[in-house]
Structure 1
Amino acid sequence: MLDSVTSSVAALTRLTVPIDFGSPDGEPVDLLFTLQSDTRAFLPAFSRLCRLLRSSWLRDGLRQARSADEGMAILRMAENELADPSAVPYGAGGAVAVEAATAE
């Protein structure tokens, strides 16, 4: 969190080899997000990202995306659904201002 940051930016890293962090559900982690935001905007931005990631179709879509652009389109759909649940058909994919990268 930096006071000089003027907008929130998130970056997604998709791991080819998941990491076991000892999560309560026992599932290894394969999607990592970093969030850069000013101090006041951090918690609202983090909360919004957490709400988006509750959606299994979003997580599955991000795992299956073949490009950063496709991942962004999926995130945008999720963002639209969060704003207006009736705007996106159930089971569709979604997006946020995120940069995508794949790590091996």
Structure 2
Amino acid sequence: MKICDILKKDKIIPSMKGRNKYDLINELVDLFKDDERVKDLEGMRQSVHEREKIMSTGVGKGFAIPHSKSNSVNDIVAAFGKLDEPVDFQALDGQPVNLIFLLVGKENLVGPHIKLLSRISRMMNRDEFRESLAKAKTADEIYELFENEEKQYFEIN
């Protein structure tokens, strides 16, 4: 499964408004208000916040990947947001976050969920990719960066 199979342009926010991690998560979750893949938006929101309480998903290098598994969705859904001004996300490296990738998968889709988390993490570990995302101004540009990065660095099965 490719990231670009689940990340849609209308689920990308090129300039997020939230000023703390909970508002930012809510901003991304709210993108799914009328999405047929989401059965219970508030259940989805709660599952992501519950996961965040266990341990921050701010993984370092200015990147966070809030995620959860929930039967509030009937597939794997994703959203991406970028901040103009980094925000404290209680990241593992203590650095503020400016790039956020939300991933929520149905409870029984554990394998694909873990593979996608791994793929996203590997992509975001590349300094040049993160820098390109930080400079991008539109959802189209951001989507294209993900598409090109995925084509360049992964063999898709």
Could you give the per-residue CA deviations for residues 44-81 of structure 1, whole angstroms, max 9, x where no partner exists? Answer: 11111111111111111111112101101101111112
**Equivalent residue, structure 2, for 1:14:** 82
Q: What is the number of residues matched between the two proteins?
A: 83
Within 5 Å, which residues of 2 pair with 1:35-50?
35-39=103-107, 40=110, 41-50=112-121
The alignment status of 1:5 with 2:56, answered yes or no, reads no
Could you give the per-residue CA deviations for residues 68-102 of structure 1, whole angstroms, max 9, x where no partner exists? Answer: 01101101111112215xxxxxxxxxxxxxxxxxx
How big is the alpha-carbon RMSD for the aligned residues of Structure 1 and Structure 2? 1.9
More strand by share: 1
Letter in 2 for 1:43: I
**Equivalent residue, structure 2, for 1:80:** 151
TM-score norm. by structure 2 comes to 0.47
Structure 1 segments (4+ residues) deviating >6 Å: none
**Equivalent residue, structure 1, for 2:137:** 66
TM-score norm. by structure 1 comes to 0.67
What runs of 5+ residues in structure 1 fail to find an aligned partner? 85-104
Letter in 1 for 2:116: A
Distance in 2, Cα, partners of 1:45 & 1:17: 27
> Comparing both chains, which one has the higher relative contact order based on Cα–Cα distances under 8 Å and sequence gaps of 6 or more?
1
**Identity in percent:** 29
Letter in 2 for 1:56: D
**Equivalent residue, structure 2, for 1:23:** 91
